[in-house]
Amino acid sequence: MNGVVELERVRRRVTEDPAVHGAGDSGAGMAAVRSAVARAVREEGVLLPPEDLSALVRDLSDHLAGLGPIQPLLRDPAVTDVMVNGPGEVWVERDGLLERTRVAYADSEALHAAVLRVLGPLGLRLDRARPWVDAQLPDGSRLHALLPPLAPDGPVVTIRTFRAVAHGWGALATSGAVPDQVADLLRACVAERRSVVVCGRTGTGKTTLLNLLLAEIGDQERVVVIEDAAELRPRCPHVVRLEARPPNAEQAGEVTLRDLVRQALRMRPERIVVGEVRGVELVDVLQALATGHEGCMTTVHARAADEALVRMEGMALLAGLPLAAARAQLAVGLDVVVALSRGPGGRRGVVQVAEVAPRAADGPLSARDLWRRSSWD
């Protein structure tokens, strides 16, 4: 019998086996798929070399419980982002550079079904009534998906992968991302309990740097870490982690970052760390700074220190603060802004360390450089 036909019969039998549906990519899930494959191979009378058996188990697991064709890309340690622009177009960011892959889905329905497979266990939906979704996958990766007709060329799926890799100061100095003098400056900022804002565009290493700063916090300090989705891996000894909750399918039960910042203030924190500020929660962080919680840290999407200050000023205005009050609170509460960017060949690293400059009465906020990168050489 033709080997391809035999494998297809095994694949079909396993796919129809109820024991493997929702098996997942865990060890137990892989074991369930392996058992189902073994049964199917035995019943079909097929002989498979061990390497073919392993490949078949992995492939079936990807298609039964994972995201199908793109699952191998998500396992690639060099890939940080996977971008699906409809069923026939898949891009990745690998080692800091974008490249198009040969991976494709059969059609839009297959792509939609793959996304639903991973959303189901999370209790999330993606349909015409709710045509977009944000989700954190079990491995920590972040998924966003958008359906037609909002995306006329087919479902658009964007995944930021999570790598549980602890980068040290030494490795970042060797790569040129954080020179030794900058590392010394940042460690001093943490030791002196200065509030630090890390800014940069997507994929510039903000989370990596914030993790390193967290590791510098002393043993006797109680730290409350607040995130939309748990991406930080704090290595400080005394840490409490809080995570926001999106609304459920009925649009109820949401817990926002602002809710959690307010709860954190009742937990006797020495420092409050917010994974990323995007809106009105900034005002509560500033209130924490004003009430003696020095050394707070956060990140914001901005290309440079001055731009970060302008963005945070806008967030404070959205929360209802008058312009003068917003500027005054930011000037009092913020100490240091660290900007990251991308360089040639996909390199990324710190390009600026600035302190919030003294502000003239009713004047705008500004940043004064403590260090600025002159080149990537």
CATH at residue 271: 3.40.50.300
Query: What is the spatial distance between Cα 5 and Cα 53, in angstroms, rounded to a whole number?
Result: 15
For residues 78 and 56, state if they share a domain.
no
For residues 363 and 268, state if they share a domain.
yes
Least confident of 55-69, 154-168, 223-237, 353-367: 55-69
Q: Which domain holds residue 49?
A: 3-65
Q: Considering Cα of 168, then 174, then 179, then 181, what sign does the dihedral take?
A: positive
Give residues with Cβ within 8 angstroms of 31, minimum separation 6. Answer: none
Model confidence, pTM: 0.81
For residues 187 and 46, state if they share a domain.
no
For residues 192 and 258, state if they share a domain.
yes
Burial 152-184 (b: 16+ CB within 10 A, else e): eebbbbbbbbbeeeebebeebbeebbbeeebbe
For residues 212 and 286, state if they share a domain.
yes
Task: Give me the CATH number covering residue 100.
Answer: 3.30.450.370
For residues 200 and 80, state if they share a domain.
no
Map residue 316 onto helix, strand or coil: helix
Examine the fold and report which residue of 13, 35, 65 is the final residue of a domain before the chain moves on.
65
Burial 46-68 (b: 16+ CB within 10 A, else e): bebeeeebeebbbbbbbbbbbbb
Q: At 195, is the pLDDT very low, low, confident or very high (cuts 50, 70, 90)? A: very high
Model confidence pLDDT, tens digit, residues 207-237? 999 999 999 998 889 999 999 888 888 888 8
Examine the fold and report which residue of 111, 131, 160 is the final residue of a domain before the chain moves on.
160
Map residue 241 onto helix, strand or coil: strand
pLDDT > 70? residue 47: no
Domain count, the chain: 3
Joined tokens for residue 132: 């977009």
Residue 364 is assigned to a structural domain of this protein: yes
For residues 277 and 339, state if they share a domain.
yes
For residues 114 and 258, state if they share a domain.
no
pLDDT > 60? residue 293: yes
Residue 146 is assigned to a structural domain of this protein: yes
Model confidence pLDDT, tens digit, residues 80-115? 999 999 999 999 998 888 999 999 999 999 999 999
Q: At 2, is the pLDDT very low, low, confident or very high (cuts 50, 70, 90)? A: very low
Residue 377 is assigned to a structural domain of this protein: no
